[in-house]
Structure 1
Amino acid sequence: MKILAVDDDPIILELLAHFIETMTEHKLVMASCADDAIETIKTNAPGSFDCFLLDIQMPGTDGIALAGQIRTMDAYVDTPILMLTAMSEKDYIDAAFAAGATDYVTKPFEMFELKARLALVERAFAAREARTTKIFAAQKLNPSQETGTAPIDLFDPVALYEIDNLIDFMAFENYIRQLSRNDLFGSTAFAFTIRDIAQYHATMSPFEFYSLLTDVAEVISDTLGDGQFLMSYAGNGTFICITESGWQPDMKALGLSVNLTLAKTELFDNQGQQIEPRVCAGEAIRLMWKTSATVMDAISAAHASAEESVAAHEDAQKNAWQIGLTG
């Protein structure tokens, strides 16, 4: 991979250069501030960099703002961004992930830890390259297939863009683990699952399905409002959220609010037919006192709870239909 490291501390840059040269096969490019980084990005071909390592506290534009600028560039909308910083306060962690960070490593860091994080990034990069190859192969076999939107596996997380407080699922998992190293007091996880998601997936084009996910995500984000939360799409029609500030959400009321807004929103497929997606909300699960080993289990439980809510809704609908036949 080709990596751009941005830090105003020459010692850190020298340390990173030594590490990259001796412990990995990656290529490192260095910049001492955000302005230099932007200039370096512009002078290289679009998509030249496969990963960014950003410090937060720098003269002028800080690393969080720089991450946000990088995310506005089409070539780097989903390129991994690792924050390497001495700032361990939760406000910085939240702001970094909200700006588009993929992972967060606090200084002083162990080189073996950084190597492990970069290995995860490298695997994600390889998986993305493999998906791109499959996309081009599919388009060659079927030239009529819509271009610009990759085939979407029903159960895979999908990156959705330009939605407030929604981040990539890999970044979401890293965010949760980062919180578990600090303080999860007051954090609550919950999820929403789109009903009939398998039917939508089977009958829609990739672009239509992606648009459906985006529309539902926007409604959920707007319903949650300006509160402190992060959300990610985890696959199979499920959006997982984590909130802060000790807020214990009323999931029944939230689900009703999301569905009321969806009912008022006119959504159509490519044939001009109106679609009416609805969601089911799962249980809210408190994350306080969870360890790093159990917090992801709690996130999985929130995910499963929303999908179980959909199954219960479907059973209730079937029972009501059967009662109507025999009544």
Structure 2
Amino acid sequence: MKIMVVDDEEIIVALLAEYLKEMGFEDVTTAASGEEALEVIAAQDSPFDCFLLDVKMGGMDGIDLCSRIREMPEYWIAPIIMITSAAAKQHMHEAFDAGATDYMMKPIEHIDLRVRIQIAMLLVETLKSEAESRSALKAALRTSPKAGQFDPSMRITYSDVPNMRDYFQLENRLLRLSEGTYAMTLLSIEIDGIEKLGARLGQGDFLDIVEAVANIIGKTLPARGASLSYVGFGKFVCLVVVRNHIVPNLLQARIRDAFGAFEAAHDILSPGELELKVAALSSKRMLAPDVAIGLIRRFVGSLGSSENMTLPPISKVQEGIFRRSSGAKNKVE
């Protein structure tokens, strides 16, 4: 695995490089600043597999660097693990908004580093598998719109849609929040009528409509603190972690207006043939992460999706990885 470590403290860089070497990762590249990291990334012939970024650095900080990395198509799902001190932990919400996968606290512990990388790579392997399946489907639809049987339960993620995340990434964001309660809004958004429409339209048109709605929702949600996932059957899940309350009726009115313009510009749809419906998954303004995950999983599970597999609780993942890590560590020593 090819790893990049970015930190402006030489002792931290040296410690991480040594730990990674002990874990069997020989291909480690380091940088002392965000600016240097971008230059190194641009010069690579093959992409990095994982990034470890310090949150607080002089010049470009780790959050800005994370955002810049996420803008590169080849790093859309690469694991990015932020390194933070207790004083800088308050900035982790911004880091997750920028696309961070996980974080770990200073001082760095060997076993914690091992677990974070292993969990990130398990997540990314799942995302890669799903991405490959979607790419294959899109290719088939382009060459023959009638080829194969289209599955309406399929989850789709568009990397260029603002705020859009794979469903596993949305769950991971909640799983990585520390204990406590947060001001958050959980919403479902449904393209009412799309399943009936799927029988009349070509499969490519179906995907075009889903992408158009995703773009409308993504641009309507707050620029910071929002995550949007398409979970199949014409339905989206939205997580918004901000103090300001999102009023479902107002959001529904705004996205309906924008979708009306899309309908008018595409003769494949009759006016009013589809309707966008927004509903709150909880009336509470303050929620704990585990409660929010339970509400989202209950909604997704009710759809009967063939892809309703969810991420296991982090504690269960860690237990398995700790067992594997301990065995691997003993071998190294």
State the TM-score, normalizing by the size of structure 1.
Answer: 0.73
Q: Which residue of 2 aligns with 1:60?
A: 59
Q: Which residue of 1 aligns with 2:324?
A: none
C-alpha distance 192-138 of structure 1, shift in aligned 2 (>3 A): closer
SS of corresponding position for 2:252: helix
Q: Which residue of 1 aligns with 2:268?
A: 273
In 2, distance between residues paired with 1:66 and 1:263?
A: 37
Deviation at 1:158, TM superposition (A): 3.2
In 2, distance between residues paired with 1:92 and 1:37?
A: 21
Deviation at 1:152, TM superposition (A): 8.8
1:188 aligns with 2:185: yes
SS of corresponding position for 2:3: strand
C-alpha distance 20-219 of structure 1, shift in aligned 2 (>3 A): same
Deviation at 1:297, TM superposition (A): 0.4
Q: Which amino acid aligns with 2:125?
A: A
State the identity as a percent. Answer: 26
Task: Flag structure 1 segments of 5+ consecutive residues without an equivalent.
Answer: 309-327
Deviation at 1:243, TM superposition (A): 2.9
Task: Say if 1:287 and 1:295, in contact at 8 Å, map to a contact too.
Answer: no
Q: Which residue of 2 aligns with 1:31?
A: 31
1:213 aligns with 2:207: no
Per-residue deviation, residues 299-327 of structure 1 (Å, max 9, x unmatched): 3245568x69xxxxxxxxxxxxxxxxxxx
* Residue range with higher mean Cα deviation, 92-101 or 82-91: 82-91
In 1, distance between residues paired with 2:235 and 2:134?
A: 24
Q: Which residue of 2 aligns with 1:98?
A: 97
Deviation at 1:54, TM superposition (A): 1.2
State the TM-score, normalizing by the size of structure 2.
Answer: 0.72
In 2, distance between residues paired with 1:35 and 1:60?
A: 8
In 2, distance between residues paired with 1:6 and 1:121?
A: 17
SS of corresponding position for 2:74: helix
Deviation at 1:266, TM superposition (A): 3.4
C-alpha distance 280-69 of structure 1, shift in aligned 2 (>3 A): same
Structure 1 segment 126-145 matched on structure 2, within 5 A: 126-127=125-126, 130=129, 144=143
C-alpha distance 143-157 of structure 1, shift in aligned 2 (>3 A): closer
1:171 aligns with 2:152: no
1:230 aligns with 2:226: yes
Number of aligned residue pairs: 296
Task: Flag structure 2 segments of 5+ consecutive residues without an equivalent.
Answer: 305-333
C-alpha distance 266-133 of structure 1, shift in aligned 2 (>3 A): closer
Q: Which residue of 1 aligns with 2:326?
A: none
Q: Which amino acid aligns with 2:83?
A: L
Higher relative contact order (CA 8 A, sep 6+): 2
**Cα RMSD, aligned residues only:** 3.7
Of 292, 295, 299, which aligns to 1:295?
292
Q: Which residue of 1 aligns with 2:120?
A: 121
